[in-house]
C-alpha cells in the first residue's frame, strides 16, 4: 500500500533573476520534513520547479502525493503544457525553446514513480503551509549557498 503524502512547495527570487530560495514541506501522518535551499543566481520559475523536484526526489519509495503550490507556471506546465512541448521537440507554439527544459525533464522523471495530484492555492491567502514555505524560501534567497544546477 502506498503512503499518502502531503507536499507544499514555494520558490522565491529577490530580483528575478537574482538570488533565489525554495522550500518544500513534506507531511506524512505526524511526520514533517522541511527541505530548503538558497541559490546565488536563478529565477523565480526555476525555484518553483526545484521546490517540487527536491520534494519528489526526497521520497525514496512510490507515494500518493497531494502537492500544493501557488505557482500556475509549475502546475499548468506539468499537467498541460509539457505534453505539447515533448511532442514539439521542446519548442513552444511560437517555435522558441521552452525555458527551464532541464528542470521540466527532471520533474517529469521524478514524477514517474509517484501518483501526484496538483493543487493550486492563491499565494498570500493565509494558507498556513504556503505562508511557511514562502517565508523560508525568502529567507534562503537572502542567504544563498548553492549554484543553481548543483542539487
Chain segment 3-22, per-residue pLDDT in tens: 999 999 999 999 999 999 99
Taking CA atoms, 40 is separated from 11, 106, 140, 151, in Å, by 14, 21, 10, 13
Q: Please, what CATH class does the domain formed by 3-142 belong to?
A: alpha beta
Tell me the pLDDT of the chain averaged across its residues: 95
Contact 43, 21 (CB under 8 A): no
Mean pLDDT on 60-89: 97
Structure confidence by residue, pLDDT tens digits, 31-45: 999 999 999 999 999
Is 148 annotated as belonging to a binding site?
Answer: no
Catalytic: 70?
yes
pLDDT band, very low/low/confident/very high, at 92 (cuts 50, 70, 90): very high
Is 70 annotated as belonging to a binding site?
Answer: yes
Contact 47, 66 (CB under 8 A): no
Catalytic: 148?
no
Q: Is 54 exposed, middle or buried (0-12, 13-18, 19+ CB in 10 A)?
A: buried
Catalytic: 124?
yes
Amino acid at each position: 500500500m502506498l503512503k499518502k503524502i502531503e507536499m507544499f512547495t514555494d520558490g522565491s527570487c529577490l530580483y528575478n533573476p537574482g538570488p533565489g530560495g525554495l522550500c518544500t514541506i513534506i507531511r506524512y501522518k505526524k511526520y514533517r520534513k522541511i527541505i530548503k535551499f538558497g541559490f546565488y543566481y536563478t529565477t523565480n520559475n526555476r525555484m518553483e520547479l526545484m521546490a517540487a523536484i527536491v520534494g519528489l526526489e526526497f521520497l525514496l519509495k512510490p507515494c500518493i502525493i497531494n502537492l500544493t503550490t501557488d505557482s500556475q507556471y509549475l502546475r499548468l506546465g506539468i499537467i498541460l503544457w509539457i505534453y505539447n512541448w515533448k511532442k514539439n521537440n521542446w519548442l513552444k507554439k511560437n517555435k522558441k525553446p521552452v525555458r527551464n527544459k532541464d528542470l521540466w525533464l527532471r520533474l517529469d522523471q521524478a514524477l514517474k514513480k509517484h501518483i501526484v495530484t496538483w493543487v493550486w492555492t492563491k499565494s498570500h491567502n493565509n494558507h498556513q503551509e504556503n505562508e511557511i514555505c514562502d517565508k523560508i524560501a525568502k529567507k534562503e534567497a537572502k542567504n544563498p549557498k548553492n549554484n543553481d544546477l548543483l542539487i
